[in-house]
Structure 1
Amino acid sequence: MSQVLITGATGLVGSHLLRLLLNEPTIGAIAAPTRRPLPAVEGIFNPHDPQLSDALAQVVEPVDIVFCCLGTTRREAGSKEAFIHADYTLVVDTALTGRRLGAQHMLVVSAMGANSRSPFFYNRVKGEMEEALIAQKWPRLTLARPSMLLGDRVKQRVNETILAPLFRLLPGNWKSIEARDVARAMLAEALRPEREGVTVLTSSQLRKRARHE
């Protein structure tokens, strides 16, 4: 039975993934630190604090697998600094917590176009986050790079609402992807026979993995 740590469990991908984890018989216990409390559910340890790092510090039991589904936009975050804190600092904090607790595999939602040398701020921060995780030398590290995510958000993002119809028609990795499919693909990857090193899952690969689950 695997013990799991997940951050971002209240978000679009993370909420789907949390439900999948609860229904997966090979998952023993779930630690899901959040900023705001989750509904009480048996099998979930939910330390919560407006400062997510403080909630993470309350997780002390060993874990095997770490999922990080944190993600926002510069507009939602309110500033470049706040975006970096959410999409870089807290992701790295999640990883460090997992390493401290003995995890061997980390899976993280990144983004299509992640590149530390990108001229675009969003893609550059995502790329820097990926590089920081790679530098931690995880036995297994999975970087999921979805295109535009589809699904019911609590708060709709204006740009995504406007562009969603277009992205549904685009080919290959550009085609938008359902958040639940990203969650399915991540869980499937976590349960695959162990492979060492870094795995990058493109949006097309995520969609394909989800279809076969």
Structure 2
Amino acid sequence: MTMENSGLRKVVRASGIKRRKQILEATLRVILRDGIRGVRHRAIAEEAKVPLASTTYYFKDIEELLSETFLFWNHSANIYRDRFRNKILEHLGTDFDQQQLQVTSLRDNIANTFSELAITYVSHQITQHREDRLIELAFHHEAARSEKLRRVVHGSLAGQFDSLKMFYQLIGSDKAEADAQITISVLLRLEQEAVLAGSEINQEKIEDTVRRHINVMLLAASGDQQSKP
């Protein structure tokens, strides 16, 4: 292969990556504006300002386009989730001793720390990233009808579940899997309610729910079922 041909291939490849990204970004804008029902090859081509043939070249059908768009979106969403997870793990690594859960006053301090982190996370998700929550809801709803999209959405949720399960294992829960399922359900529900509420977000309800949840879960992990959170 000559240097000239090699350089040409690199240019073509870079051009293809750029156009594919244009299409994926356009799909997200269409979903945000019109919902999943608005995702059609022609509509996406017009939004992305690319030839109609480009959308069918890179994505053979709408199902593939939606699945690839979800993965593209989820990569960015995971960056913030990873920051939240790392903050939790940092506290567990430096300030946490599992035996502290047996002492009510120390357990309360731990619960307050984790509650504040969780409240900040949820509040940030529904205020600073409300558009992401709308997109996420749209994908989850469509996943019930699309097998290919269902697989990638399930993979994303499994990743979040695994992080929470690891958290509960680290604090000594003997029901880490069940605890992780409860927590992810609570957080997703709070986010969904906030999105549906629009501008009428009940911050006090969110804070009370998160604090109560964290207290109850740490209490359960401690094995002290007679104490009150």
TM-score per shorter chain, which class? Answer: under 0.3
User: Could you say which structure has the higher strand fraction?
Assistant: 1
User: Could you say which structure has the higher helix fraction?
Assistant: 2
TM-score, normalised with respect to structure 2: 0.26
TM-score, normalised with respect to structure 1: 0.27
Higher Cα Rg: structure 1 or 2? 2
